[in-house]
Amino acid sequence: MSDKILILDFGSQVTQLIARRVRETGVYCEIVPFNMADEMIDDYAPKGIILSGGPASVTHSDTPRAPERIFNMNIPILGICYGQQTMVEQLGGKVSTSDHQEFGRAFVDVKNDCTLFDGVWESGTNNEVWMSHGDRVEALPDGFDIVAVSENAPYAVVADEARKFFGVQFHPEVVHTPSGAALLKNFVREICGCSGDWTMASFRETKILEIREQVGDKRVICGLSGGVDSSVVAVLIHEAIGDQLTCVYVDHGLMRAGESEQVVSLFREHYNIKLIHRDASDLFLGELAGVTDPEVKRKTIGKLFIDVFEEEARNVGGADFLAQGTLYPDVIESVSFIGGPSVTIKSHHNVGGLPERMNMGLVEPLRELFKDEVRDLGRELGLHNDFVSRHPFPGPGLAIRIPGEITREKADILRKADAIYLEEIRKAGLYDDIWQAFAVLLPVKTVGVMGDARTYDHVCALRAVTSTDGMTADYFPFPHDFLGRAATRIINEVRGVNRVVYDITSKPPGTIEWE
């Protein structure tokens, strides 16, 4: 088994980025809420522990603390922001609330050599970092030394080299700390001594064996959405158990242009996987008639999906296991110490829970992976890069791209506009530079003049964002000539649209969809 790092989560919105950076070094890691760490430390046997940041203040007595036992386990510990502060306070130092806060870009002066800095920072240098703190360390525990300072943090980096305890006030996991990934690599590879042998090829082999052991000679059913996650799950499980797997693709009539045909072709013809294709578009569009609230849309689609899925499962004689594309962010959210959902079907189906009447076990082979790692696994399994790299498209499909009432006519208009937009992006060679791009049919109409006639038609909004993880995003800066070409084609080729606008809002943490 590969070496492992354990990350204790104190509620930072970027804790997942710590795990991503660690895994990028070839070292496997998991995130666990600080108050659940005691339950898994012994079995997990980490070679090092990272304490994340968090929104609380160590100066309050009722705020999170690390389990005291970790400081006596004789393994390296790295505290980040709040993690640094609670480590210092728990070991006998002092933390206080300060008027000298630091939020955003800052610079740290390296005062002394430190193994955390080896090959990255040298003594006497000034280095850019990203700060986000109101409290700060005021006094160190015995054994610790100052190794770097900033303008408003006199203990920006501290170290107890003998015990291999390190604390940084800044966030090395974010891209705004240019050397952050290298510092984290130093910690996990050099200080913790992790070998860095965790690869997607080894993950694939391990998961195939685990699936065979879990399933035995029983049957598995998998709900395909057309997205990357469920597709990778299906191909991986099929490689493990072959014809014991049956996939069900419920077509709700709200997919992108040509997507249903692509899914059927890929799984039936290329992979020869047993696939049931159920065209339920009339049922879904009928139930959505007159519905305008986005959450009601999601729940309606989710309920219908389960109903149709269950019906098709009964038609094939049932199954013992349900396969779903649960990813690691879903797992983290479900056990968050601030609360979260429990057992759920893959979030992009938006169904809110696995009905007890289904009476099936769950097969979730991707639950340790982030989205980019799922894409890597897809490539490892031989899925074509054009499919694996496809932009995210949640299960409700066009339903959340049509604010207001959904009709078949609106869906057809949007499908055509969206296809033209993506075609122009591909022609411009920009598709892989964008994390997600899509068209939205706005719930307004405008008067326009086309040729010699007045029109009263829909407004179409275009959106494209850049992101690394979907947690935050910024709009993609298209050249004006691109937007002109795309808008002109949509207006000329899609009857029912007479105006196109481009959405340039950014996407703060926590927001998922445009609706």
Residue corresponding to tokens 């959904």? 406
Q: Which amino acid is at 191?
A: I
> 426: part of which helix (H) or strand (E)?
helix 408-427
Phi/psi at 220 (nearest 5 deg)? -125, 140
Angle at which helices 371-380 and 200-215 cross, to 10°? 90
For 279, 330, 339, 397, the CA distances from 302, given in Å and listed in that order, are 16, 17, 22, 12
Task: Return the structure tokens found at 483.
Answer: 């937007």
Q: Shortest CA distance to 241 belongs to which of 210, 277, 267, 264? A: 210
Q: How far apart are CA 372 and CA 379, in angstroms?
A: 11
Task: Collapse the DSSP code of 253 into the 3-class scheme (helix H, G, I; strand E, B; otherwise coil) and give the result.
Answer: coil
Catalytic residues: 81, 171, 173
Whether the CB-CB separation of 467 and 473 falls below 8 Å is answered with: yes
Q: Which residue has the tokens 């800044």?
A: 170
DSSP 171: -
The amino acid that residue 465 corresponds to is V
Q: What 3-state DSSP class applies to 387? A: helix
**323: number of CA atoms within 13 Å, CB side?**
31
Q: How many CB atoms lie within 10 A of CB 118?
A: 14
